[in-house]
Amino acid sequence: MIFISLILLFIILIFFAFKKSIVHFIKISQTYKRIPCSPSKLPILGDILTLPLNPYKFTRRLGEFYEYAKYKDMFCLWLGTHPLLVFFHPVGLEHFFSGTKHITKSTDYIYLLPWLRTGLLTSAGTKWKNRRRILTPAFHDKDLLANSVDIFNEQATILIQRLASMKLDKEVNLYSYIASCALDIICETAMGLNIGAQHQNNSEYVDAVLKLTDLVLKRQRMPWMWPDFLFNLLPEGREHNRCLNIVHQFTKKVIDDRAQDFHANQIHGKRSAFLGNNYLLFIF
């Protein structure tokens, strides 16, 4: 009798501890019940058990969802109790793109906050509007855009040379090649810094960025990694924090160096970075 009472007490405590989440899930389920979803969706777990951990198989599985839902106006993929809406018709997207009301990012973005903080990509409300207003002129400066084309061409040439030197006797994963090229381009255009990712320079920083990207994507699709206290106990969490420290130290050094050069660049009218010194400080 005492054992049963303890079990009931435990269930009651669990209910009150997660009451807010349970009520939220019930409301969400009622709101989304008419939106098509996968026939393999399970109660509470959603589609999480059908999504492979392997990134390649995970992408293939998303392709299967696409084939199933591509002729519908929208589709809902459930990661546990977390719904992800996929639009296949422009009418649905019009409600989001035609106004500035829906600018708060989804909860998936919270796993980027330790890395990117609340910059333009992750911020919302007044902070997002102010930074967007400051950055917008940079994307309408034809001279800056024209200057960036040389960087695009230079880095693309390096990428082509690397691809041409590969042995074709086996399957090759191109992710690291494309990612290194993209990293070189964004760092030189946005920060005025050539980090030489494609030449394996600053390899510690480059490896940390690529590893962080993989860890964030991995965490987004694995609910047991969502709570911070559990994630930090896992090997992935410890690796995430190690890479985070490397990236933040590198970024801080770049910003400090750019701030020291700011006055000299102003005097000579030099704007080596696509976003300029003022804009750079608002990204991070």
What pLDDT, in 10s, does the model give residues 184-218?
A: 898 888 777 788 888 877 778 888 888 898 899 88
**CA 149, chain centre distance (Å):** 25
Q: What are the backbone angles phi and psi of residue 74, rounded to the nearest 5°? A: -155, 165
The mean of the pLDDT values for the chain is 79
pLDDT tens-digit series, residues 33-57: 888 888 888 887 888 888 887 777 8
pLDDT tens-digit series, residues 127-151: 877 877 877 777 777 777 777 888 9
Q: Where are the beta strands (DSSP E) in the chain?
A: 74-79, 82-87
Residue-range domain boundaries for the chain: 31-101, 134-282
Hey, CA dihedral for 27, 33, 36, 40, is it positive or negative? positive
5 sits in which H/E element: helix 2-17
Contacts 24+ apart (CB under 8 A), 86-89: none
pLDDT of residue 69: 84
CB 212 within 8 A of CB 247: yes
Place of tokens 């409300």: 125
76's tokens:
């809902």
Q: What are the backbone angles phi and psi of residue 78, rounded to the nearest 5°? A: -105, 115
